[in-house]
Amino acid sequence: MRRIVKHCAYSAVALSALVSAQASAADCVNGTNTANCTVPAGATSVVIEAWGGGGGGGGNLSPANGTGGGGGGGGSYCKATFAVSGGTALVVSVGFGGAAGGYQLAGGGGIPSSVTGGSVVGLQANGGSPGAPNASSGHGGNTVACTAVGSIAFSGGHGGSHAIGGGGGGSATPTGPGGDGIGSNAGIGTGSGGSSGFNSTGQPGFIPGGGGGGGGGFAGTNAGGAGGAGQILMAFTLAPVVTSTTAVPTLSEWGVILLSGLMALAVFAKSRKRRN
pLDDT of residue 124: 98
pLDDT at 7: 27
- Let me know if 238 is exposed, middle or buried by CB neighbors in 10 A (0-12, 13-18, 19+): middle
Q: How many residues does the chain have?
A: 276
Is the link from the previous residue into 208 a cis peptide, with omega within 30 of 0? yes
Residue 134: the pLDDT is 81
pLDDT of residue 19: 32
pLDDT at position 263 is 72
pLDDT at 131 (0 to 100): 95
CA–CA distance, 108 with 223 (Å, rounded to integer) = 12
Give the residue ranges of DSSP H helices in 175-250: none
pLDDT at 272: 61
Q: 220, 241, 186: which is closest to 72 by C-alpha?
A: 186
Task: Please provide the DSSP assignment of 180-196 as one string.
Answer: PPBTTBPPPSSSPPPP-
DSSP class of residue 76?
-
pLDDT value at position 216? 83
What is the reported pLDDT for 16?
Answer: 25
For the chain of 276 residues, list the mean pLDDT of each consecutive stretch of 10: 28 27 56 85 94 96 81 98 94 96 95 96 98 90 98 97 91 98 94 86 96 86 94 91 64 70 67 62
User: What is the rounded (10 degree) CA torsion for 75, 164, 63, 107?
Assistant: 0
What is residue 218's predicted lDDT score, i.e. its pLDDT?
77
